[in-house]
Amino acid sequence: MSTTLQKPSVFPVSHMAEHLIGSEIIKLANEVNELIKKGEKIANLTIGDFDPAVFPIPAVLRDEIIKAYQEGHTNYPVANGMLDLRKEVAAFIERFQGLKYSPDEVLIAGGARPVIYGIYSTLIDPGDKVIYPVPSWNNNHYCHLMQAKGVAVEALPENNFMPTADAIRPHLKGAVLLALCSPQNPTGTVFTKDQLQVICDMVLEENNSRRPDEKPLYLMYDQIYSALTFGENNHYDPVSLCPDLRPYTIFVDGLSKSIAATGIRVGWAFGPVNVIDKMKSILSHVGAWSPKAEQVAAGRFMANTAAVDAYMVNFKKEVEDRLHAFYDGFSEMHNAGLGVRCIEPMAAIYLTVQFDLKGKKTADGKVLATTEDITAFILNEAKMAIVPFAAFGASKDSTWYRLSVGTCKKELIPSMLETLRTALSSLS
C-alpha cells in the first residue's frame, strides 16, 4: 500500500525571514488609520512623516522635479549618485559642518534606510557585535537582517535618553560597529559636545589598541535630523570633534527630514572611500538608487542656497512651535498632578513624554496594569495615538512615548490637549 505525502500549504522560508519582525511603528499607524476610516476622531501622532498639506516640500524643489522629468531624466542614475548632486552634498557638508569631503566620499541612495542597510551589510559578518542604544530606531532589525550580535545599551531619562560613554564602554571589546544617532529618533534629544567628545575619545582609544589584522570599531553616525535643532541646542559630530575618527566614521544624512521630503527618497552617506565604494556595489545589486530626476532636482535645489535657507527658517519655526505647544500643555498637566511629564524639545520632530499611569483606575474600574493598557487608554479615551518606547527596543515596561508633530495642524493642538486632560482627570 502506497501513501501520498501531503505537501504543506505554507512552505518554509529562511530562518532570518521567518523571525523578522515588521515595523512596530507602521503597524501601529495602520491600526490607527483603520480606526480613523471607521469614523473615529483620532489625533495620529505616531509616524515620523509629514503631511504634505501641513508641511509641503519647497516649491523650488517641486518645480525642479517637474522640470527634471520634462527633460527626460527617467533612465538609470550613476551607481553612486549623480555627480552634480554629490558635489552639492559635499558643499553642504562643508557649509554646515565645516568638514571637507570629496564627491567620491559621498554615496547617494533612495533615502536613509538603504544607506543604513548598506553600512550594516558592508561592515558586519554574521555573529559580529553591534552596539546601539535603546530606545533607537530600527538598529535591532538591522542586526537581525545581518545576523549580528546586537548589544542594546539602555539610555536613561536623566541623560535625556542619550547613551553615555560609561554605558557603552563595557561592550567595546570585539565590537565592529557602534550605531549612534543625534538628534535621536525617537527622543528628539541631542548629544552635548562633552557627551559626544568622551564617546569619540573612547572609540579612538579602542581602535588604537587593536591589532592590524583585527576589524576596527566603526562608528555609524545618523544625523538625518541635524538641521532641526532648537534654541541653544547644537548639532555635534564625531569627525569635527575628533578628526582621527574620520577613517572609522560613516555618516547617514539626506533631505527627507530637513525639508519634509520623505517621499522624494534622496539620502546619502559620506565617509572613507573604501567603505563607500563597497556600499555602492552592494546597493547597486539591490537597486536602491534614488530616482534620477529627483537627484537632478535635488542637486539644483541645494545649489540654490537662498531657497534652502528661506525654506528652513519657516519650516523649523513651524516644527518648533508645535513641539513647544505640546510641551507647555504637558507641563501644565504635570503640575496638576495628572501623571505626565516630558523632556523639553531639543531637536527633530519628536517630543518625549512619560505617562506614569500604572495602577490608576479608569471610570469603569479597570486598572491600568501594563504599558499596553496605558497605550490603549490614551488611544481610546484621550483619542491620541503615540508610540511607546518599547517599539524602539526599550523595555516593554517603559512608560515613555514618542509623539511626532509632522502631521499635526497647529490649530488643533489645544483641543487635543483638552481631550487628553479630560481623560487623565477621569482616572483615580
Q: What is the 3-state secondary structure (H, E, C) of the chain?
A: CCCCCCCCCCCCCCHHHHCCCCCHHHHHHHHHHHHHHCCCCCEECCCCCCCCCCCCCCHHHHHHHHHHHHCCCCCCCCCCCCHHHHHHHHHHHHHHHCCCCCHHHEEEECCHHHHHHHHHHHHCCCCCEEEEEECCCCHHHHHHHHCCEEEEEECCHHHCCCCCHHHHHHHCCCEEEEEEECCCCCCCCCCCHHHHHHHHHHHHHHHHCCCCCCCCCEEEEECCCCCCECCCCCCCCHHHHCHHHHHHEEEEEECCCCCCCCCCCCEEEECCHHHHHHHHHHHHHHCCCCCHHHHHHHHHHHHCHHHHHHHHHHHHHHHHHHHHHHHHHHHHHHHCCCCEEECCCCECCEEEEEECCCCCECCCCCECCCHHHHHHHHHHCCCEECEEHHHHCCCCCCCEEEEECCCCCHHHHHHHHHHHHHHHHCCC
pLDDT at res. 153: 97
Residue 236 lies in a domain: yes
* Alpha carbon 182 to its chain's center: 9
Q: Are residues 270 and 408 in the same domain?
A: no
Identify whether residues 101 and 229 lie together within a single domain. Answer: yes
* Residue 3: pLDDT band with limits 50, 70, 90: low
**pLDDT band at residue 4 under the 50/70/90 scheme:** low
pLDDT tens digits, residue range 366-398? 999 999 999 999 999 999 999 999 999 999 999
**Residue at 9 is within a domain:** no
* 229, part of any domain: yes
Whether 271 and 373 map to the same domain: the answer is no
Return the percentage of the chain with pLDDT > 90, whole number. 90
Any domain includes 8: no
Which CATH number do you get for residue 120?
3.40.640.10
327 and 253 assigned to the same domain? no
Share of the chain above pLDDT 70, in %: 99
* pLDDT score at 420: 97
Give yes or no for a contact between 45 and 408, defined as CB atoms under 8 angstroms apart: yes
**Which among 312, 395, 403, 309 is positioned nearest to 358, based on CA atoms?**
395
Residues 67, 187, single domain; the answer is yes
CB neighbours of residue 284 within 10 Å: 13
> What's the pLDDT score for residue 2?
57
Question: Is 23 inside a domain boundary?
Answer: yes
Confidence (pLDDT) at 181: 98
Same domain, 286 and 332: no
> For residues 174 and 129, is the Cβ–Cβ distance under 8 A?
yes
Q: What is the CATH number of the domain that holds 340?
A: 3.90.1150.10
What is the structure's pLDDT at 112?
96
**pLDDT for the residue numbered 35:** 83
Is residue 41 domain-shared with residue 121, that is, in the same domain? no
* Last-in-domain residue among 304, 326, 356: 304
What CA–CA distance (Å, rounded) separates 347 from 275? 29
Answer yes or no: are the C-beta atoms of 99 and 93 closer than 8 Å: yes
Per the domain annotation, does 412 fall within a domain?
Answer: yes
3 inside domain: no
Alpha-carbon distance of 90 to 74, in angstroms, equals 24
How would residue 152 be classed by pLDDT, with cut points 50, 70 and 90? very high
* Pair (393, 251) in one structural domain: no
Task: Go through 364-376 and write b for each residue having 16 or more CB atoms within 10 A of its CB, e for each that does not.
Answer: eeeebeebebbbe
- Domain closes at, from 249, 281, 304: 304
C-alpha grid cell, residue 67: 522640470
Per residue in 157-185, pLDDT (tens digit) is: 999 999 999 999 999 999 999 999 999 99
- List of long-range contacts for 207-212, beta carbons under 8 Å, 24+ apart: 207/248
- 131/234 same-domain check: yes
Same domain membership, residue 186 and residue 92: yes
Contact call for residues 257 and 267 (beta carbons, < 8 A): no
Same domain, 357 and 282: no
**Cα–Cα distance between 212 and 85 in angstroms, integer?**
36
Cβ(53)–Cβ(407) under 8 Å?
no
Residue 109 pLDDT: 98
Instruction: For the beta carbon of residue 159, count every other beta carbon within 10 angstroms.
Output: 16
pLDDT at 107: 98
**Looking at the domain assignment, is residue 10 inside a domain?**
no
Closest CA to 414 of 341, 326, 350, 336: 326
Pair (278, 369) in one structural domain? no
pLDDT band at 136 (very low <50, low <70, confident <90, very high): very high
Residue-wise pLDDT tens digits, 333-353: 999 999 999 999 999 999 999
Domain end, chosen from 284, 304, 324, is at: 304
The residue segments making up the domain with residue 255 are 59-304
Say which amino acid occupies 27. Answer: K
For the residues 275-299, what does the mean pLDDT come to? 97
Between 9 and 139, where is the model more confident? 139
Q: What is the pLDDT of residue 39?
A: 87
Q: What is the pTM of this model?
A: 0.94
List of residues 6+ apart from 63 with CB closer than 8 A? none
State the total domains in the chain. Answer: 2
Length, in residues, of the chain: 428
Q: Name which of 23-32, 124-133, 186-195, 393-402 the model is least confident about.
A: 23-32
